[in-house]
Structure 1
Amino acid sequence: MRILLVEDEPDMGATIKEILNREKYVVDWVQDGAEAWEYIQDRLADYSLAIFDWSLPGLTGLELCQRLRNRKNPLPILVLTAKDKIEDRVSGLDAGADDYLVKPFSIPELLARVRALQRRSPLLQPSRLQVDGLILDCGTRIAYWQSLEGQIREISLTNKEFQILEYLMKYPRQVIQSDRIRRQIWEINDYSYSNVVAAQVRRLRRKLASIDCNNIIETVPGLGYRLNPEP
């Protein structure tokens, strides 16, 4: 799941990003509301959740909420703020926020609220994906392969391997361009060498082959990759 984090306090933003990364979320962190709006306009379809601080330079978190809702966009939004009066909470929710978290807050509470928005939102992931005999548990990050004879084998995946397989399983038998995979899975400010997707796919294929799940990821020359399981 990709999250847009907009927080202008460097220490707070870095801490939240680190925690979310540790929980396997892809996070784009910006510190200015106007810059965040540019991200939203360029990459809105890539995000599954937004976390906005209330007080931001450029555009406030509430203004970002209002702009999204004025465009009828259902992106789930969590607002962070030091304002704890009832009228402030009402203002935040009326502006379009789905949830509201008062600073200072605990990291477990932040993660619980992110998970709650994940459960409620139709934009976010199911807990389990299955394409023919290939099964992906989105909670444990474990892949399973069930053979025609009914034998089930499992393998743990790294974060990037999991994210690539998850993305391909969302669009089975469709060709997914390498650039599209990179755009979805790698953070904007990450440095990535040109064949980073190919390198990760090679590792993923080797792991899948180790559980007798062979040739399931097809390379389409000049285009990208396709999850193409045999029936």
Structure 2
Amino acid sequence: MTQIAKMEIAKTQTMTMETKEIATRTRTAEGEKFRERVLALAGSEVKTCIQCGTCSASCPTAHLMDTPIRKLVKLVLEGEKKAALSSRSIWLCTSCLLCTIRCPRSIRPMAVVAALKTVYEKEGKRCRDSVFEGIFGRQIRDYGRISEFLLSAEYMIRSPGSAAQIMAFGAELVPKGKIELGFEAARGERIEGTEEMRRIFELLGDEGKAEAEKVEAAEAGEAKKAGKAEETKEAEK
């Protein structure tokens, strides 16, 4: 074995020891529970991360992320629940698997991101994309396919703030024939075997329907709160 190879092995061992020190750092009970929950979903090999940054360097959406994938892994190992779950990076992962393919420790960083999404949603939290996901899932369940016209229209109604962006996309895509505006598009075209699609959703716990209902309930609650706040202001006047 050459001297260079020995030096590389020693360097790797040192970095691994540093990572273990991070993993064993004092954590709160909630942080420890969070860490073990994520590791159970993503794999115990995550504990061997050497923080080399290969995953972050390989990520095609890294420039959009507020927290690099490498740091997300570190936050998980440190039990930093709030910091990890509040990062918008977990919603920017495209699941391209480049981080997993190139990881020198055979860790699956993408699985860590997926685990963080699961923990986030299991705790009843809503990301800004939850409305879109609810509409998307319901269309797949009912039609077996997506109608760009219906999806855009309903999303624009439920999220008025997105209207300008949707209209801009529409102005660009409609002339190219990417979005149909005829009667069939407005009605929603179904594929054959939609009953089989419904059964798939049922076997999976009908997550699309559950998400849609959760979003609708949350929106109704927010509207009710807004109404009460307005009534209070009027009463104060």
Structure number with higher relative contact order (C-alpha < 8 Å, ≥ 6 residues apart): 2
User: Whose strand proportion is higher, 1 or 2?
Assistant: 1
| Superposition TM-score, scaled by structure 1 size | 0.20
User: Whose helix proportion is higher, 1 or 2?
Assistant: 2
